[in-house]
């Protein structure tokens, strides 16, 4: 019996070692970068700037500490050829945005929301790249990310080729709202995760924790639940919630306190048009209402328990 147990244990160890070896040696799904050279028309540059704000590119590609599994450094995406992406081809930029593959073939850490940006249309990603190409070069060498095991192996399964994506039908308000919400990665922030995976039964119901030194903020419930989500909000309520930050975007924000601290990129989103905000609202109202009370500012005084009381 002892020999049988030892044999079984040895087999299990060998299988585990083989599995780790496979994950270590496996390459992410990689397609060659597109060969396009993007024509930088003024319309594309303006649309690209709009998408840059919608996707909150600037919010992530600046220095911040999020308590991630390792030392994750957001890349320099200015046009500097040595420390930024100035030497990258337009196709390599497109592949990184939508497929999560760096110029050297590495899998990008999924904090870069390429799982959502994978659905960005061809024309929109061309516009985004056209805008990125206008960013002034900033010489700032960012250290290479060091991702802890086993996450360093598991993220290899995240990238995959995007193919060609058609432009969304703007006449279908729900579908267009879904497209915008996907590019903005609403689900990514407003869905709590466990062990790095979103909890499907709480999709868009809030509760994801964002920890910073001395403070924590929790994402809000944006499902159409009338008590704990946005079910009682009118379309105008939703649009106005974003509009109120336009003055801050133009003239500066008030002092940040534990009661108003947020990772919601209000200043970037304040530039989203009323029409697009209304489309996002229409889409959100079609989602499953989930009763999920969220304290967006734990320990704050007064507490903000849920979005129906004004937190977002």
> Does the domain formed by 42-157 have CATH 1.10.760?
yes
Q: Read off the pLDDT of residues 111-135 as tens digits, 9 standing for 90 and up.
A: 789 999 999 999 999 999 999 999 9
DSSP tally for the chain: helices H, then strands E: 13, 6
pLDDT in tens, 126-180: 999 999 999 999 998 887 766 666 666 666 778 888 999 999 999 999 999 999 9
Q: Give pLDDT, residue 306.
A: 45
The boundaries of every CATH 1.10.760 domain in the chain are 42-157
Q: What is the pTM of this model?
A: 0.83
For the stretch 64-94, pLDDT in tens is 555 555 566 678 999 999 999 999 999 999 9
Instruction: Using the predicted structure, report yes or no on whether residue 3 has a pLDDT greater than 60.
Output: no
CB contact burial 193-224 (16+ within 10 A = b; e otherwise): eeeeebeeebebbbbbebeeeeebbbbbbbbb
């Amino acid at each position: 019996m002892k020999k049988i147990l030892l044999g079984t244990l040895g087999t299990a160890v060998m299988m585990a070692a083989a599995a780790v070896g496979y994950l270590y040696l496996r390459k992410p799904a990689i397609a060659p970068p597109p060969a396009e050279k993007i024509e930088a028309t003024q319309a594309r540059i303006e649309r690209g700037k709009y998408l840059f704000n919608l996707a909150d590119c600037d919010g992530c590609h600046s220095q911040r500490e999020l308590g991630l599994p390792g030392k994750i450094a957001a890349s320099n995406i200015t046009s500097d050829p040595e420390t930024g992406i100035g030497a990258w081809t337009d196709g390599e930029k497109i592949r990184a945005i939508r497929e999560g593959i760096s110029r050297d073939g590495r899998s990008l850490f999924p904090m870069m929301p390429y799982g959502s940006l994978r659905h960005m249309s061809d024309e929109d990603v061309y516009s985004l790249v056209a805008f990125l190409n206008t960013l002034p070069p900033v010489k700032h060498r960012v250290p290479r990310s060091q991702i802890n095991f086993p996450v360093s192996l598991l993220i290899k399964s995240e990238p995959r080729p995007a193919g060609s994506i058609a432009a969304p039908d703007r006449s279908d308000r729900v579908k267009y709202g879904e497209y915008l919400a996907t590019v903005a990665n609403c689900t990514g922030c407003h869905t709590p995760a466990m062990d790095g995976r979103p909890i499907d039964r709480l999709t868009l119901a809030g509760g994801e924790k964002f920890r910073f030194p001395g403070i924590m903020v929790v994402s809000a419930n944006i499902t159409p639940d009338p008590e704990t989500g946005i079910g009682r909000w009118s379309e105008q309520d939703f649009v106005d919630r974003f509009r109120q930050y336009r003055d801050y975007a133009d003239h500066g924000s008030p002092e940040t306190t534990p009661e108003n601290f947020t990772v919601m990129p209000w200043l970037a989103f304040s530039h989203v048009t009323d029409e697009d905000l209304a489309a996002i609202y229409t889409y959100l109202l079609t989602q499953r209402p989930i009763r999920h009370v969220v304290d967006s500012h734990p320990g704050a005084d007064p507490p903000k328990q849920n979005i129906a009381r004004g937190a977002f």
